[in-house]
Amino acid sequence: MEVTVRRGDSFWYYSQLYKIPLQLITDSNRNVNPTALSIGQRVQIPGFVATGYQIRAGDTLWAIARSRNLQLDALLLANPGINPNQIRIGQMIRLPTRITWRLVEGRRNYDHRAMVNDLSRLQNVYPFLQVESIGNSVVGRNIPEVLVGTGGKRVHYNGSFHANEWITTPVLMTFLNDYLLALTNQTGIRGRAALPLYQQSTLSIVPMVNPDGVHLVINGLPPNDPWRSRVIAWNRGSTDFSGWKANIRGVDLNDQFPARWELERARNPKVPGPRDYGGESPLSEPEAIAMANLTRRRDFSRVLAFHTQGQVIYWGFENLEPPESAVLAREFARVSGYEPVKTIESYAGYKDWFIQDWRRPGFTVELGRGTNPLPIAQFDQIYQEALGIFLAGLYS
Ligand SMILES: [Zn+2]
């Protein structure tokens, strides 16, 4: 919600007036100098929207504010120039409305368009969120990264490396939404205060690494799509893409990283297909390159890549992981009920490369149980399992 600065206003006063943490107001107005506010300047109040309200017979601003648990000045600030003694029936006013519900609707076929829409809704209500593009998919779909928090612990989560594991995207988006709700409403998640997490960590989320693959699994390909004939051929003539994990060029993005890539190549298909083909060289695909560049640029403290399925947490690679990895894996297992597993015979994955090149904790978390794509009916249960891990990744 936008308000207009009056004489004597300050961010601290807005924080008291709307009961929103001061830091969230400051971070929602990065281009505003809080010590030099000027009258008439526009300021964003996170966690609120202004809804229209039409004055009825018998209304007073005082009663309207009181019935909505607002201070009168919270109403006046949102309605510059209004005279509380001269409101008239039929007049429209702006009613500051605290957002206490999710804006993300995760229980649906969640493709790239759904994610982009939800991100823009979140950004609108929570301007302290930073959304940046890390690159584009083969077809040209934007791959967004969301940043939340200001702390020195740089935590990264990603989802939908694998196309038919797309449920990881709405699960991550729902966590993001619940985190934002807990921050602005100071309600906590699972009994844990959110603001200290915000101050201690900077959370980076790439909710959908492989948007073209997700689009293929959820929507199929129209008859005129330039990729259609190739993709169907790589899918052995089938238009059932429920087994498709790769990007639109038939490259498995989680077999693309330079961490013993040759070993993975040796045991896997040598041609494009729905899964396991690692490309002709490491980091040949734009989605994998975008993730590698992001990871180098951000210097993450730890990374968690979310996949489905198996209720397993993989936490090792070639004994290169630091001792902290085992401790974290035990905590993730404790809060989720998942099984921690050090390694399987698998190479060239994102978390493998992160462990190898940074010697910091990297994890592949296999959410849920069943056959991919996991049915959206499992969404709530998977979210509850994942929530403990999302939180532990920030506080541990
Ligand atoms: Zn996977």
Q: Is 347 a catalytic residue?
A: yes
273 CA → ligand 1 middle, Å = 15
pLDDT at 180: 98
pLDDT at 393: 98
Selected catalytic residue, list 264, 366, 383, 385 = 366
* Average per-residue pLDDT for the chain: 97
201 CA → ligand 1 middle, Å = 26
- Residues 67-79 have pLDDT tens digits of 999 999 999 999 9
- Residues 251-283 have pLDDT tens digits of 999 999 999 999 999 999 999 999 999 999 999
Q: Which helix (H) or strand (E) holds 94?
A: strand 92-98
Compute φ and ψ for 4, nearest 5 degrees: -115, 125
319 CA → ligand 1 middle, Å = 22
pTM for the model: 0.97
Give the confidence band of 244 by pLDDT, cuts at 50, 70, 90: very high
334 CA → ligand 1 middle, Å = 22
386 CA → ligand 1 middle, Å = 15
- Residues 175-201 have pLDDT tens digits of 999 999 999 999 999 999 999 999 999
pLDDT at 345: 85
pLDDT at 135: 98
- Residues 358-373 have pLDDT tens digits of 999 999 999 999 999 9
pLDDT at 50: 97
Give whole-number Cα distances, 377 to 116, 136, 163, 368, 382, in Å: 22, 30, 18, 12, 10
CA dist 165 and 374 (Å) reads 7
In the chain, pLDDT over 70 holds for what percent of residues? 100
Residue 104 has pLDDT above 90, yes or no: yes
pLDDT at 344: 83
- What average pLDDT score do residues 9-21 get? 98
Give the confidence band of 98 by pLDDT, cuts at 50, 70, 90: very high
CA dist 164 and 210 (Å) reads 10
Q: In this structure, are residues 273 and 247 in contact, taking their beta carbons and an 8 Å threshold?
A: no
- What average pLDDT score do residues 43-47 get? 98
Residue 296 has pLDDT above 90, yes or no: yes
Residue 286 has pLDDT above 90, yes or no: yes
Give whole-number Cα distances, 156 to 117, 153, 172, 390, in Å: 22, 10, 11, 10
CA dist 60 and 236 (Å) reads 70
- What average pLDDT score do residues 17-21 get? 98
Selected catalytic residue, list 18, 338, 347, 350 = 347
- Residues 113-172 have pLDDT tens digits of 999 999 999 999 999 999 999 999 999 999 999 999 999 999 999 999 999 999 999 999
99 CA → ligand 1 middle, Å = 34
Give whole-number Cα distances, 237 to 229, 231, 232, in Å: 9, 9, 5
- Residues 196-239 have pLDDT tens digits of 999 999 999 999 999 999 999 999 999 999 999 999 999 999 99
